[in-house]
Structure 1
Amino acid sequence: MTGKDVEQRHEDQLKGSSDGGGIKGYLLHRAKPYLPPWLGTGAVAISGAAANLVWEGDTGMGVLLTLGSVTLTGSTWWAARATGKERRLHSAITVAAGSSWFTSAALFGPSWDMWFVGGIVTALSWNIRQIMRRDPDGAKTASTDGGLMEKIGLAKAKMGQARVEPNRVTVPIALEAGTQTNDDMAKALGNVASALDVPATAIRYLPNPDSARRGELVIVPMDMLADTVRWEEVGPSLPGGSITDPLVIGVYDDGSPLLLWLPGDPEAGRNATNVLIAGMTGAGKGDGALNLMTEILSRKDVIFWLNDPKGFQDFRHLLPGIDWATDATGTETMAEAVLPTVQARTAWLGRHGYRQWCIKASVTQTDTAHTCRSDGTACGCPGMPYLVVWFEEAGVGLSVLGDDAFNNISNLARSGGVGFVVSLQRASHDQLSTTTRDALGTRICFGVQNSTAAGFMLPDSVIDAGAAPERWANRRPGYCYLVTPGVEEARYSSPGRTRWFTPTANSLMEAVAAWAARNGAKPDPVTASAAAKAVGKAYTERARHQEENPKADDEDEETTVSRLDDEDLDIDPREELPPAKPGEENVIFDQGDGRELSKEEARTALQEIVAEFEMEGTMVIGVVDVMEHAARFGRKRGWVSGELQQMLQEGRLAVTAKPGRYRIVPAMADA
């Protein structure tokens, strides 16, 4: 009978006859649910008195009745094992008391006083239990858990009224005060998944930040990520939109979009962010990067810099839309250009009254509230688009730069309207410094090998809530967790999946790149000037890629950018070379024509070599690079090291994040 039928019957009873017959019928109907315990008590009395007439004084039957009483009590205890502890104990005590009285009555005669008192107490105890089972007030806030909490070892925890959404069930949990905490619930999530027979990743627990024993259990019964979605089927989410609009990189397991923002928004209470992407080989990190990269390139107010030691293996079709792209030979150069560029952009924003980059900063400054003129009139300065700097396979670059090379960049980038993206396989401390990792507020964590690797990417609270990327490792490419400002924290432990790039996506990727090259933002004077001042021709004569596919037998057209020379394997570039020994700096070498270079001539030759490096676009050098031209200046390493130090003091060179490496200051930097 449904609840509606019961309500209708109750309504009919209330509207029924009010004469003596109607009242008697109503009372009898209301009493029916409570009659079984009283009928049972009466049946015991009648059967006990009848048995006394047959077996009074029969010793053998007494033994059998006693054994039967014990057996019946034990059977009751065993049969009630699936019920609650209180009901099991109540049932066993009732059967034991009734069978004991029956045995005594059959052998020695009924003890009516004991039957009267014991029967009334027993029957009333079951009536009270039945009354208390119906709790109208409690029904509003709590619902039966079907024994779930007992199965997972939290029997005294209470489950509230479930909130059902499409492919998502949220159940409030109140743990027992004083004995259970949210940590106990987090540890039991595997047992919950087992009890409900769902994948472990379908269960997560969201603690209430204002309570140590309350939270929400979230159950996603159907994995909507199992069906792979091709990127070319949907393409960029908002072509021609702003970088301030959300970037859609996939979907969550309940079907909602996987979103992130790079710039901040004070009105929305969202901070600007940098991004850390990590995942083991085969986990889908490359496709995830393409999802984010195509979203960025399809926006109108952003410029893009990319360093990829793999030689653009995954990103070649997007190169025409990228303002500056370098391979492994340009890692040091780009890293050295970023920090002064960030500082220049931050200074520009400050002069124009911006506390952080916003969409107004990307257009011509005609608003008097954002003028750099002292008289308060509109300055008309060109706008400054948002800048994204992306280091792909950063573990390779950091092996050259040092694990703390990104510290200053990651800490300052957001204030200059720069989104700093670092992508690598494992964000461990031996590859990426803790300082840098902590400054990369957005985490996109694909499958990893173990929980230790997951701990490098995800906060403890997210892992405690049920996030476990090691469960799928690289068996489910594209599965990931996203931790980012602007998304409610309840989403952090929900798995998502980025879209899949296939060879059929190449033409659409090329279309995105062509649109970005023709219609996207161009480098603003502040950004271009800062980069040129830092690394000279390495930026001003950076590679230019065709917007359309060249002929089949041609390579992408680009201007030549020279490569940084590899380190000698037997030299530790982190260590300074020993200073020249007395007299060693004056050693003169025969140049092959019988003429020897003087000290001044050798110094001039060294300066010419540095100038040649600059002309070629090689802006980061060390002693080992210069020594490849040793025949031209005829000096040993100690002399070269001292001369480079002298150039450092003179301002021709600048220090880099890695000891022993120097950035060439462009000769026309001041101009």
Structure 2
Amino acid sequence: MTGKDIEQRHEEQLNGGSEKSGIKGYLLHRAKPYLPPWLGAGTIGVTGAAANLVWQGDTGMGVLLTLGSVALTGSTWWAAKGTGKERRLHSAITVAAGSSWFTSAALFGPGWDMWFVGGIVGALSWNVRQVMRRDPDGAKASASDGGLMEKIGLAKAKMGAAKVEPNRVTVPIALDAGTQSNDDMAKALVNVASALDIPATAVRYLPDSNSARRGDLVIVPMDMLADTVRWEEQGPSLPGGSITDPIVLGVYDDGSPLMMWFPGDPNAGRNATNVLIAGMTGAGKGDGALNLMTEILSRKDVVFWLNDPKGFQDFRPLLPGIDWATDATGTETMAEAVLPTVQARTAWLGTHGYRQWCIEASVTQSDPGHSCRTDGTACGCPGMPYLIVWFEEAGVGLSVLGEDAFNNIANLARSGGVGFVVSLQRASHDQLSTTTRDALGTRICFGVQNATAAGFMLPDSVIDAGAAPERWANRRPGYCYLVTPGVDEDRYSSPGRTRWFTPTANSLMEAVAAWAARNGAKPDPITAGAAAKAVGKAYTERARHKEENPEAGDEDEEETVSQLDDEDRDIDPNEELPPARPGEENVVFDQGDGVDLSREEARAALQEIVAEFENEGTMVIGVVDVMEHAERFGRKRGWVSGELQQLLEDGRLAVTSKPGRYRIVPAMADA
């Protein structure tokens, strides 16, 4: 019998009816479970005395009774083979002693002294066994775990009362003190999944931070992520809302929303965050990025910058809503613009009394408590929207910029009301520096190739709790783990799934982008001014994507600000030049190969080349870029390198995060 059966039987015996009343009835009621051994001893005494009257001195019957005693003892031993060793031995000894006394009493007369002592000892031994058999704690543990803890090698561990929620069961675990720890439970999770016949990702263990041997075992019996959800069926979670509202990316495996925040909230105890997204090819990282981007563009108080070396292959329908979008040619330029922009925004927030960006900073500053004036009156400065800077396929950009390129940006972005997003396939140290990775507090980890890649993305505590993105790799696109401020740490090891973008989603994506272009936030003077001062026309004449105008029948197109001076706008480039005036016949427009240029002329030619790069919007250059025009100044690589250093000293160039690369300081930056 199991502990549960024994306990149930005992309760039935205790709760059975009794015809007595009062104290005698109560005593008889409580004594009933312990009477059978005494009744058995009494029955043997009475039947033994009666048998003596019939078989005293009968030799033949003596032989039969002896053989019967041996057979009965052997049968008892055989019948008890399915019980424990102690119970089997106890039963056989009791039967052997009782049958021997009965045989002796029948043939030679009852020995009442032996019967009295032996009966009492035998009955009491069974009473003691019955008392010790009643272990409420053991019975409850056995009933609750069904032997599960024993199956997984943690037999001494105890399971508490389970908390049952929709598609989620939470069971408190108390491991054996001194011999077991939370690490043992974390290692046994695969065995738990095997015992319950469920996927390994459906089981996780959440250790108690105040105990080394207690925690919660969480079981999600049904995978609610198996059925993909199309993004266009629901669209953005909160169109027209604030970036301070939660951003919903999908659902967890128990059906609850998968969500995060960018800005911090002191009242909620939540820090602002930067985001690191990683996942192998085919794991659904692109759809996850679209979920996040469409959420961002549907909010009213955020400006969005995007660098995508792939040329916006996945994000083209969203371009009209993006303030500044650059491809591979603009990676260095945008990277160089971000840090001074962050610093300018941080200074503005500090001047207006904000310790961090909040929604009040996004509107006109009419509160005297947030004024940049010293007289205590409201300053009326334009508000500063939140800024999100996203580097897609950042591994490509980092191969050009260097792995340390994002260090300062990642460390300072949050203080300036900037959300910094880095997306790449593998966040290994050879692509992304440890310093940058540690500053990206939010991790969205899609399927990866192996546990090593998972370790680059997820904290050890989350992996120990059961998170294992390598188990599904790219076989379940969209499955991910989310580690982010504002979400209970218990959720970190719970898998979620982002929504699926199909070709039919393009029209709704275009609608989101059109809304952002018309109603979304525009760059504030501080942000726009800092970017323009850093990279000049690369920002001020950035490509702006028009939305389609059904009434005019125009197609989507890029609009750029003309680089011509106002007085030259009406010049027809196809018109013949006027004849030369007297004295202008000898003007030379082409310097040929530049071999005969003087030092001053070569320097002037180099400065013209730098100016041309600036006019084209190429704000980060190196020796190799300038050498493509070497025929114009007739000098070798060493001379160019030295002259770039001189321009650096003159302030025309500025250093970048990568040695050998220089940022062009816009000619009108000071103005």
**TM-score range with shorter-chain normalisation?**
0.7 to 0.9
The question of whether the paired residues in 2 share the 8 Å contact of 1:271 and 1:485 is answered with yes
Task: Give the 3-state SS of the residue equivalent to 1:211 in structure 2.
Answer: coil
Aligned twin of 2:124 = 121
Q: 1:160 is matched by which residue type in structure 2?
A: G
Equivalent runs, 1:12-411 vs 2, <5 Å: 20=20, 30-36=30-36, 38=38, 54=61, 71-72=78-79, 75=81, 79-80=82-83, 88-101=84-97, 112=115, 115-133=118-136, 144-411=144-411
Return 56-65 or 339-348, whichever deviates more: 56-65
Q: Could you say if the C-alpha distance between residues 31 and 9 of structure 1 is closer, same or farther in structure 2, counting changes exceeding 3 Å?
A: closer
CA distance in 1, matches of 2:239, 2:559: 27
Residue 307 (structure 1) shift = 0.5
1:532 aligns with 2:535: no
Task: Give the 3-state SS of the residue equivalent to 1:388 in structure 2.
Answer: strand
The question of whether the paired residues in 2 share the 8 Å contact of 1:297 and 1:513 is answered with yes
CA distance in 2, matches of 1:593, 1:221: 76
CA distance in 2, matches of 1:198, 1:237: 32
Task: Give the 3-state SS of the residue equivalent to 1:263 in structure 2.
Answer: coil
CA deviations on 1:316-357 (whole Å, 9 max, x unpaired) are 000000000011111111111100100000000010000000
Residue 102 (structure 1) shift = 5.6
The question of whether the paired residues in 1 share the 8 Å contact of 2:548 and 2:555 is answered with no
Aligned twin of 2:558 = 557
Q: 2:97 is matched by which residue type in structure 1?
A: W
CA distance in 1, matches of 2:492, 2:190: 18
Aligned twin of 1:512 = 512
Bigger CA radius of gyration = 2
Task: Give the 3-state SS of the residue equivalent to 1:325 in structure 2.
Answer: strand
Q: Could you say if the C-alpha distance between residues 96 and 342 of structure 1 is closer, same or farther in structure 2, counting changes exceeding 3 Å?
A: farther
Task: Give the 3-state SS of the residue equivalent to 1:411 in structure 2.
Answer: helix
CA distance in 2, matches of 1:438, 1:389: 18
Residue 116 (structure 1) shift = 2.4
CA deviations on 1:127-179 (whole Å, 9 max, x unpaired) are 313544389xx97x996322111111111211111111111111111111111
Q: 1:524 is matched by which residue type in structure 2?
A: D
Q: 1:173 is matched by which residue type in structure 2?
A: I
Q: Could you say if the C-alpha distance between residues 616 and 31 of structure 1 is closer, same or farther in structure 2, counting changes exceeding 3 Å?
A: same
Q: Could you say if the C-alpha distance between residues 276 and 48 of structure 1 is closer, same or farther in structure 2, counting changes exceeding 3 Å?
A: farther
Task: Give the 3-state SS of the residue equivalent to 2:304 in structure 1.
Answer: strand
CA distance in 1, matches of 2:512, 2:241: 13
Return 162-171 or 495-504, whichever deviates more: 162-171
Aligned twin of 2:584 = none
CA deviations on 1:190-210 (whole Å, 9 max, x unpaired) are 111112222111111111111
Residue 294 (structure 1) shift = 0.4
Aligned twin of 2:427 = 427
Task: Give the 3-state SS of the residue equivalent to 1:144 in structure 2.
Answer: helix
Task: Give the 3-state SS of the residue equivalent to 2:597 in structure 1.
Answer: coil
Residue 115 (structure 1) shift = 3.3
The question of whether the paired residues in 2 share the 8 Å contact of 1:37 and 1:127 is answered with no
TM-score (norm 1): 0.85
Q: 1:91 is matched by which residue type in structure 2?
A: R
Q: Could you say if the C-alpha distance between residues 552 and 624 of structure 1 is closer, same or farther in structure 2, counting changes exceeding 3 Å?
A: farther
Residue 548 (structure 1) shift = 2.1
Residue 449 (structure 1) shift = 1.0
Return 594-603 or 188-197, whichever deviates more: 594-603
Q: 1:152 is matched by which residue type in structure 2?
A: I
Task: Give the 3-state SS of the residue equivalent to 2:544 in structure 1.
Answer: coil
CA distance in 2, matches of 1:132, 1:632: 96
Return 599-608 or 98-107, whichever deviates more: 98-107
1:459 aligns with 2:459: yes
CA distance in 2, matches of 1:428, 1:271: 25
Aligned twin of 1:571 = none
Residue 60 (structure 1) shift = 8.4
Q: 1:101 is matched by which residue type in structure 2?
A: A
Q: 2:361 is matched by which residue type in structure 1?
A: A
Q: Could you say if the C-alpha distance between residues 45 and 270 of structure 1 is closer, same or farther in structure 2, counting changes exceeding 3 Å?
A: farther
CA distance in 2, matches of 1:47, 1:201: 66
Q: Could you say if the C-alpha distance between residues 65 and 128 of structure 1 is closer, same or farther in structure 2, counting changes exceeding 3 Å?
A: closer
Task: Give the 3-state SS of the residue equivalent to 2:250 in structure 1.
Answer: strand
RMSD, matched Cα: 3.4
The question of whether the paired residues in 2 share the 8 Å contact of 1:273 and 1:419 is answered with yes
Q: Could you say if the C-alpha distance between residues 202 and 42 of structure 1 is closer, same or farther in structure 2, counting changes exceeding 3 Å?
A: farther
Q: 2:163 is matched by which residue type in structure 1?
A: R
The question of whether the paired residues in 2 share the 8 Å contact of 1:44 and 1:98 is answered with no
CA distance in 2, matches of 1:594, 1:642: 18
Structure 1: gaps (5+ residues): 81-87, 563-589
Q: How many residues align?
A: 622
The question of whether the paired residues in 1 share the 8 Å contact of 2:445 and 2:458 is answered with yes
Aligned twin of 2:417 = 417
TM-score (norm 2): 0.85
Q: 2:122 is matched by which residue type in structure 1?
A: G
CA distance in 2, matches of 1:645, 1:104: 113
Aligned twin of 2:583 = none
The question of whether the paired residues in 2 share the 8 Å contact of 1:365 and 1:378 is answered with yes
Residue 59 (structure 1) shift = 9.5
The question of whether the paired residues in 2 share the 8 Å contact of 1:157 and 1:175 is answered with yes
The question of whether the paired residues in 1 share the 8 Å contact of 2:48 and 2:103 is answered with no
CA distance in 2, matches of 1:105, 1:404: 93
The question of whether the paired residues in 2 share the 8 Å contact of 1:561 and 1:617 is answered with no
Q: 1:92 is matched by which residue type in structure 2?
A: R
Residue 520 (structure 1) shift = 0.1
Aligned twin of 2:571 = none
Q: 2:136 is matched by which residue type in structure 1?
A: R
Structure 2: gaps (5+ residues): 1-6, 106-110, 564-589
The question of whether the paired residues in 2 share the 8 Å contact of 1:205 and 1:218 is answered with yes
The question of whether the paired residues in 2 share the 8 Å contact of 1:312 and 1:327 is answered with yes
Q: 1:602 is matched by which residue type in structure 2?
A: A
Return 165-174 or 324-333, whichever deviates more: 165-174
Aligned twin of 1:83 = none
